[in-house]
Amino acid sequence: MAKMLYQGHGSLRFTLSDGTVIYLDPFAGEGYDLPADYVFVTHEHYDHNETDKMPHAPGCKVVTEKDAIRGSSYHTFNFGNFQVQAVEAYNSHHHKSACVGYIFLLDGKKVYCAGDTSTTNMMAKMEPMHLDYALLPTDGIYNMGPAEASKCAEVIGAAHNIPIHMAPGKLFDRALAEKFDGPNRLIVEAGEEIEL
């Protein structure tokens, strides 16, 4: 069973049952001690792309939005023991061509990491995917705020909806997380690791 460590802000670490270690948008918090087998970046803003923050295992692969978007097409990656589908992400300060979200298939669980985004057209197509988790930004500055994220959660239809990326300079904000009232809300605090 895969595990997910929410490091804070938009940073996550996944550890698969076979020991594969995947980081997403490394920048915030603790938990960079495990060597990375894969590092995924949603976009090139400084608070999402510290790809050398952790040690790299031999053959470590770094995947950025430049790898994930091919013209107007979003790439799907098959790494054998897990798969990743890039999806659109955009808002008033993040152009569609320079930002992505990812849907990970990890030990049989589908995890949607939205990246820095507001509501996207693609979200309406996600309910039939039967996502297990959706991680949605809620800062309300350039990204969607808690109310918009809650509406997106209803559309996406994931089994668990987790608010992240809450406020600049903060790993986590409990009061803001509780303003997110999408269905099947799951609040995960910075530094907390859960089994998927």
| Residue 195 forms part of a structural domain | no
Those residues whose C-beta lies under 8 Å from the C-beta of residue 142, and which sit 6 or more positions away, are 91, 92, 93, 94, 116
Average pLDDT value for residue range 105-133: 96
Range of the domain at 174: 3-189
Collapsing DSSP to helix, strand or coil, 26 comes out as coil
Query: What is the pLDDT at residue 141?
Result: 86
Higher pLDDT, 46 or 164: 164
Collapsing DSSP to helix, strand or coil, 43 comes out as coil
Q: What percentage of the chain has pLDDT greater than the value 70?
A: 100
Count of structural domains, the chain:
1
**Contact yes or no for 161/148 (Cβ under 8 A):** no
- Tell me, what CATH number does 27's domain have? 3.60.15.10
Query: What is the pLDDT at residue 88?
Result: 96
Q: 87 pLDDT exceeds 80?
A: yes
- The pTM of the full predicted model, rounded to 2 decimals, is 0.96
Which has the closest alpha carbon to 12: 178, 171, 180? 171
